Structure 1
Amino acid sequence: MYDRILVATDGSPTARRATAQAVELARQTGAALHAVYVVETRTGYDNAIVDPEVVRRNLEADGREALAAVETEAGSDLAVTAAIREGVPHEELLAYADEHGVDLVVVGAKGRSAFKTRLLGSVTEALLHSGSVPVLVVDGADGEA
């Protein structure tokens, strides 16, 4: 059914729940697991107070940590192809899915920037509206998004 599953992660609690779902699906279907963290480039850190390069490096470090958590969840029996991309998150995730022939994207209902939308995270909503790849949305603990 699935040959390649992509889990989008930002290290948030719902991303960790999405990771658990993606790992289980990959094990059940024998699919290859891909994990992607996107460094957001649309943030307004370009000012005299905050050095944008420092922010980017910090976000990349967060990405390495989030991807390491996916690899830990997968364990030694499931290989993970991990990538950090830079750009607009939903655009980068869709581009990655297209480039790698991904059959399913697994994503948390809300990520770290959940304040941007009330019901679904903006990245999740954009992925759902793309129509280019099936998306499995995983909610938060106890049904909270």
Structure 2
Amino acid sequence: MYERILLATDGSDGATAAGAHAVSLARRYGAELHAVYVVETRTGYDNAIVDPEVVRRNLREEGEAALAAVETRAGSDSVVTSIREGVPHEELLAYVDEMDIDLVVVGSKGRSAFRTILLGSTTEAVLRADAVPVLVVNDDTGGSTRP
């Protein structure tokens, strides 16, 4: 059913829950699992106070940690990982096209400060694009991440 599954991760609890589902689905269908972290390039800080390169480096390190966590969860199964820079939903949709992805798995909310929003802005934008099926996984902080 699925040959290539994309997990969009930002290291949040929602992305961790989505990762459990993505790994399970990839195993079930014998699909190639891709995990992508996008370093957000739209700045929300004062460049006179914060060095953009320091922020970019810190975000890249967070991305490396998030992708390493996906690889750990996948165990012996291989994962194609990528860190991209840009507007998250645009980069994810470009990756879908470039890699001929069949399914996107994403958490319902990411690291945004707007925790009361029903869906995260990246998740909503990927859904609205209607490029491929999207599995939205609720952040299950109750401890269960069953697929």
TM-score range, shorter chain: over 0.9
- 1:122 is the counterpart of 2:140: no
TM-score (norm 2): 0.93
Alignment RMSD: 1.2
CA deviation after TM superposition for structure 1 residue 47, in Å = 1.7
**More helix per residue: 1 or 2?**
1
Q: Which runs of 5+ in 1 are unaligned?
A: none
Query: Aligned residue pairs: how many?
Result: 141
Q: Do residues 13 (structure 1) and 5 (structure 2) align?
A: no
TM-score of the superposed pair, with normalisation by structure 1: 0.94
Structure 1 position 66 matched with structure 2 position 79: no
Name the SS of the counterpart of 2:118 in structure 1: coil
Unaligned runs of 5+ in 2: 143-147
Off by >6 Å, runs of 4+ in structure 1: none
The residue matched to 1:115 in structure 2 has which SS? coil
8 Å CA contact 1:90, 1:123 repeated in 2: yes
Aligned counterparts of 1:111 and 1:86: Cα–Cα separation in 2: 17
Q: Which deviates more from structure 2 when the two are superposed, residues 116-125 or residues 28-37?
A: 116-125
Q: Distance in 1 between matches of 2:53 and 2:62?
A: 14
Give the aligned residue type for 1:100.
M
SS of aligned partner of 2:105: strand
Contact 2:40 / 2:88 at 8 angstroms: preserved in 1? yes
Structure 1 partner of 2:135: 136
Report deviation, 1:45. 3.0
Find the counterpart in structure 1 of residue 145 from structure 2: none
